[in-house]
Structure 1
Amino acid sequence: MNLPADHIRLLFGLKLRQLRLDKGLSVSELAHQSGLSISYVTEIEKGRKYPKTDKISALANALQVDYDSLVSLKLSKKLEPISDLLRSKFLTEIPLELFGIDPSDLLELLAEAPAKVSAMVRTFMDIALSYNMSVERLYLTMLRSYQELHDNYFPDIEADADRFLDEFAPADQVVSEALLINLLKTRYDIRPEQFDARTQPELVALRSILRPETHTLYLNADLSAGQRVFILAREVGFQFMQLKNRPYTYSWVEAESFEQILNNYKASYFAGAILIRREKLVAKLSDLFARDTWHNDDFLQLIDHFKTTPEQFFYRLSTVLPSQFGIDQLFFYRFNHTPGQITFQLTKEMHLSRKQGPRGIVDEHFCRRWIAWTILEELQFIQQHKSFDGILCRAQLSEYADSGQQYLIISVAHPFQPESGQNISLSMCFAVNDNLKSKMKFLNNPAGVKSLHDIPFRVVNQTCERCAIFDCRERVAAPAVLQKKRQFDALRKAVAGLD
């Protein structure tokens, strides 16, 4: 594998430093014996400079090693994890500057404390292997952190969306399916076609496929109108923002780089911004928040007004609420459920609150009192007994038993895709505080009233294994983690009490 020049400099500097320490030499001693200046040797060890042939020979003689061994990119066992890191895609494909990290600073950190950083890198790699973390999962985790870092609001993409709307849908014109198809055909030379997943079952999981060599965008014939419009808008986003490095399937089959995942997100963000105009959504939300009472049907009508899917609407909410309303203590999650089964899969999550909420906890059972699950159980019941195929909306005030923190949770459940046989629930969760109450009038209930009109109240927790609500009828596992913690606390107190 060809390494960038700065990585080669760093590898040489790390190796030189390790050899010097193994020989028990100081920087000044090595400089004196090799005939080089102290500052120059220091620059080499920090990976800032790569010496010429004659200077490498001088260093090799001073260290009593042969020339080829010194210039070899093979590192000692102590530094192997750093070598693996530099040879991986991490430093070359992930734009560290997105996270406020200067790549040169990271390289200098590696040079300053290689043994400690090496141990840390090895630890991270072992954790990833232990949890079977794929490259794609790592990329998605990084993308989620990037979204959370920016409160999921990106003015540059919003500006691109505004520019598109001014040019192609002025005066509040609707961005329709016909408009998007026409743009793809006439402006970008892309022809939308449909494929039947029932005759090609291996493609059933895909909603769209772009074949750039034939300029064809294939759409799954089973898509709903809202799903189809979103995919068309997303493809326009790729073209309009000139995002070249991108996946050609949706959902993507394999991520080749973090840039692909990031560009895929940018195009999806763009699609949401042109389909759900920021100004219109802000006006509608302001009206909803100003009402004295909460009604689930009002929220469903709001989704229907924008002729979009619930998931697209929730995503757009997560971009508008922090930036336009100052409501940034929130998190979003999605659960999938197959009717008749007792398991629920957490398939998406995003935390702007950075506090409590469901996360991908391994080998534990999520609290069954969450509205995200009870709404799925309710949907399953009415599907079986009333032939219902619509959408449900429910709200809940949830108070965490261990912290007392309250959240307003708005959850929507509907069939995921008919051919999948699954249902899906999407939930937006808001930390209840003075700021939220000042924005949502219906939250200002009389003192001491636990239930707000149409919003029930429940005490919840994270997982059964960590929960102290011992009389919980929804419990599906013993509080093993909590009991172990209490046993340890008791042991620690007993040890401290010894004379």
Structure 2
Amino acid sequence: MEQDYIKLIFGLKLKQIRTDKGLSLFGLSKLSGLSKSYLNEIEKGKKYPKPDKIAALSEHLDVPYDEMVSLKLDKNLAPIGEILQSKLLKEIPLELFGIQESTMIDIISNAPAKVTAFISTIIEIAKNYNFSKESFYLASVRSFQEANNNYFDDLEQAVLKFAKTYQVDLTKPLKSVELEEILIEEYGYTINTTELTSHTELDNLRSVFVPKTKTLLLARHIDDAQKTFIYAKEIAYNYLEISERLYTFSWIKFENFDQVLNNFYASYFAGALIIPRASLVADLKALFSKKSFKTKDFERIISNYNASPESIYQRLTNILPKDFNLKSLFFLRFSHQKGSNHFKLNKELHLSKQQSPHANETNQHYCRRWASLKVLEQISKSNKPHEFDIQVSNYPNEGKSYLVLSSATSDPFVSNSYRSVNIGIQINSQLKRKINFAESASIPKAQVGVTCERCVISDCEVRQAQPTSIMSAQKDAKIADVVNKIQEKYSK
């Protein structure tokens, strides 16, 4: 364990023993002969006493020496010990969120019982919802994105600098051959497109990087847009001098938080390189200036870049908050197997605040009126390469409305499987100023909920389950009302 954590655990134990015996720091100082300031430093985890001082404390507190120096904590402090021994505070760069590790340690040492209760609650929630370490890491990165409105100017500038250094023309669609040449000539890569094909277990992987020989193994069946994105990520790792990284795409598992964060940085760099900010801003301004929305205008923007619809939608979450001040938005990605009635939300991002459509972990049924689910149902029937839908979604539960754009494509790695990506922008005065067609009559409107179980819409033709949560709340309200009337009756 880190020496700092050993000090903290000893300090926590000493403080607990002292308070259990009803002693103040002053009282323990008189009892042990150690100064009050020195004891205070020990309890805060800033100093670790020498063996003779521990012996003195052991004798005067009537606690065995071995018990005092043991790293085992009793039940009340055990969760804190688990956190410290797991090195969680070291793995997550708290400075990203403006928090110093010393601050966290001070909070723990000053209120161990309350912090323990909080940590225990988080652990229990995580267990009940099968919340893995990877999920925790991804949630941390998502919070980091949201705190920065998902825009990182240092990475945007790095892309511009890279393009200038290597004479990459950002005004034209970027092709994989151009980036492949840079990887080979500048970074000494070897590209292999045959190895992965011979391993059926790796069907879902698009690439594997072997660092020792700088060999990049590519799946043969990926298209040029996917290949370009993979190349751009590899360039990001090299150009940004990132060493702690993942070696497979898609990822299998994360070993530490740095890998998760660096994977995000490389992906952001790749998206900004393939879909340059200046070009996308110009395209969006032209689209938003129109008084009515036409699907072909939006699809034309997608075709302007050698990128998947998902990459375009992800890039919108960078550009809309920064260049159009449209910060109250969400991004969702769903997957769906043809013939099934199950829709899985496997990626989400909420800027400004938690938006109405969001993931649930209680197996409730997502609202079938969402545009994101509609396009998945459409593409599973039409078998077209791309399905698009737009709608204004009104959420009566929250009194909010969103302009939602949604695209669905087939999953190239899973047969009869589809995925949709969606971006929803809250309809407010800023959106109406920036997007001329926001209130166009040509855009369909729909009353939607989050899940069927929590939806107040009574006449829904696609409802999958009864509004059990609403019914339960109404029942509780009626019971409370009757109890209040009884209280009033017998209080006179």
TM-score range, shorter chain: over 0.9
Matches of 1:394 and 1:35 in 2, distance apart?
Answer: 76
Aligned to 1:78, the other structure's residue is in SS state: coil
Aligned partner of 2:386 in structure 1 is 391
Counterpart of 1:195 in structure 2 is 194
Q: Structure 2 matches for 1:449-460, cutoff 5 A?
A: 452-453=441-442, 455-460=443-448
Pick which of 412-421 and 142-151 moved more.
Answer: 412-421
> What's the offset of the Cα at 1:256?
0.4
Q: Could you tell me which of 401, 420, 424 is aligned with 1:425?
A: 420
Q: What's 2:382 paired with?
A: 382
2:260 is aligned with what amino acid?
A: I
CA deviations over 1:346-393 (Å, ceiling 9, x no partner):
11111114231122342210101111111111222222xxxx3x2122
Task: Provide the residue aligned with 2:148 in structure 1.
Answer: 150
**C-alpha spacing 1:407/1:73, structure 2 compared with 1 (3 Å):** same
Structure 2 Cα separation of the partners of residues 444 and 122 of structure 1: 48
Aligned to 1:474: 462
Q: Secondary structure at the match of 2:205?
A: coil
Equivalent residue in structure 2 for 1:487, among 463, 475, 479: 475
Distance in 2 between the 1:179 and 1:342 partners?
43
- Structure 2 residue corresponding to 1:436, chosen from 427, 431, 436: 431
Q: Which runs of 5+ in 1 are unaligned?
A: 446-451
Q: 1 CA distance for matches of 2:201 and 2:415? A: 13
Give the distance between the partners of 1:137 and 1:257, measured in 2 at CA.
Answer: 12
Partner-residue secondary structure (3-state), 2:73: coil
Which deviates more, 50-59 or 27-36? 50-59
2:34 alignment partner, one of 36, 47, 57: 36
For this pair of structures, how many residues does the alignment match? 485
Tell me what 1:370 maps to.
370
CA–CA distance in 1 between the matches of 2:360 and 2:256?
A: 23
In 1: Cα distance, 2:201 partner to 2:436 partner: 50
TM-score (normalizing by structure 2): 0.96
Q: Which residues of 2 match residues 171-210 of structure 1 at below 5 A?
A: 172=170, 174=172, 175-195=174-194, 199-210=198-209
Contact 2:44 2:106 in 1 (8 A): yes
Letter in 2 for 1:497: K
Give the one of 76, 79, 98 matched to 1:78: 76
Decide whether aligned partners of structure 1 residues 44 and 305 sit closer, same or farther in structure 2, where only a CA change above 3 A counts. same
Segment drifting more, 487-496 vs 64-73: 64-73
Other-structure match for 1:248: 247
Structure 2 unmatched ranges of 5 or more: none
Mapped partners of 1:361, 1:419: distance in 2: 24
Matched, 1:359 2:356: no
Asked whether the equivalents of residues 299 and 393 of structure 1 are also in contact (C-alpha less than 8 Å), the reply is no
- Contact preservation (8 Å) 1:297, 1:393: no
Letter in 2 for 1:111: S
Equivalences for residues 13-162 of structure 1 within 5 A: 13-162=11-160
Q: Is the Cα–Cα contact under 8 Å of residues 226 and 308 in structure 2 kept in the other structure?
A: yes
Q: CA RMSD in A?
A: 1.5
Distance in 1 separating the partners of 2:63 and 2:281: 69
Q: What's the counterpart of residue 211 of structure 2?
A: 212
TM-score by length of 1: 0.94
The answer as to whether partners of 1:398 and 1:406 remain within 8 angstroms in 2 is: yes
- Residue 321 to residue 169, structure 1, CA distance change in 2 (3 Å): farther
Cα distance in 1, alignment partners of residues 87 and 301 from structure 2 = 43
**Is contact 2:194–2:220 with CA below 8 Å preserved after alignment?**
yes
Shift in alpha-carbon separation, 1:417–1:89, aligned structure 2, 3 A? farther
Q: Is the 8 A contact 2:204 2:414 kept in 1?
A: no
Question: What is the CA–CA distance in structure 1 between the aligned matches of 2:413 and 2:34, rounded to whole Å?
Answer: 73
Q: What SS is found at the alignment partner of 2:306?
A: coil
- Per the alignment, in what secondary structure is the counterpart of residue 141 of structure 1? helix
Stretch of structure 1 that moved more, 204-213 or 192-201: 192-201
CA distance in 2, matches of 1:407, 1:45: 52
| Deviations 1:304-352, CA, capped at 9 Å, x for gaps | 1012110111111111111111111100001111121111111111111
1:171 positional shift: 5.3
Measured at CA, do residues 231 and 481 of structure 1 come closer, stay the same or move farther in structure 2, by a change above 3 Å?
Answer: same
Residue 33 of structure 2 aligns with an amino acid whose one-letter code is: G
Q: Distance in 1 between matches of 2:198 and 2:69?
A: 58
1:170 Cα offset (Å) = 5.1
The answer to whether the Cα contact below 8 Å between 1:416 and 1:422 also exists between their aligned partners in 2 is yes
Q: Is the CA contact (8 Å cut-off) linking 1:148 and 1:350 kept in structure 2?
A: yes
> Equivalent residue for 1:221?
220
The percent identity for this pair of structures is: 40
CA contact (8 A) 1:415 1:423 kept: yes
- Greater Cα offset, 361-370 or 193-202: 193-202
CA distance 1:444–1:472, change in 2 (3 Å):
closer
- More off after superposition, 317-326 vs 347-356: 347-356
Contact 1:238/1:244 (<8 A) preserved = yes
Cross-structure match for 1:410? 405
Rounded to whole Å, the distance in 2 between the matches of 1:186 and 1:171 is 18
| d(CA) in 2 for partners of 1:391, 1:156 | 34
Q: Which whole-Å deviations, capped at 9, do the CAs of 1:468-497 have from their partners, x for residues lacking one?
A: 222211001011111001111111111111
Secondary structure at 1:77's aligned position in 2?
coil
* Residues 393-449 of structure 1 deviation map (CA, whole Å, 9 limit, x = unaligned): 21001101212211000001111216432111111000000000100011244xxxx
Paired residues of 1:78 and 1:118 also in contact (CA < 8 A): yes
Q: How many Å apart are 1:202 and its aligned residue? A: 0.3
Residue pair 2:196, 2:218 contacting (<8 A) in 1 also: no
**AA partner of residue 357 (structure 1):** P
- 1:177-227 Cα offsets, whole Å, 9 max, x none, are 222111111221111211365542100111100011221001111101100
Identify which range, 355-364 or 33-42, moves more after superposition.
355-364
Between 1:195-204 and 1:374-383, the stretch displaced more is: 195-204
- TM-superposition CA deviations, 1:71-105 (whole Å, max 9, x none): 22111221111101101141121111112221111
> Cα deviation per residue 1:140-179 (whole Å; 9 max; x = unaligned)?
1111111111111111211211211121135546443222
For residues 166 and 251 of structure 1, the distance between their equivalents in structure 2, rounded to whole angstroms, comes to: 30
Question: Which range is displaced more, 226-235 or 400-409?
Answer: 400-409
In structure 2, distance between residues paired with 1:274 and 1:317: 14
Cα distance in 1 for partners of 2:93, 2:438 equals 42
Instruction: Report the AA paired with residue 376 of structure 2.
Output: L
Distance 2:414 2:112 in 1: 53
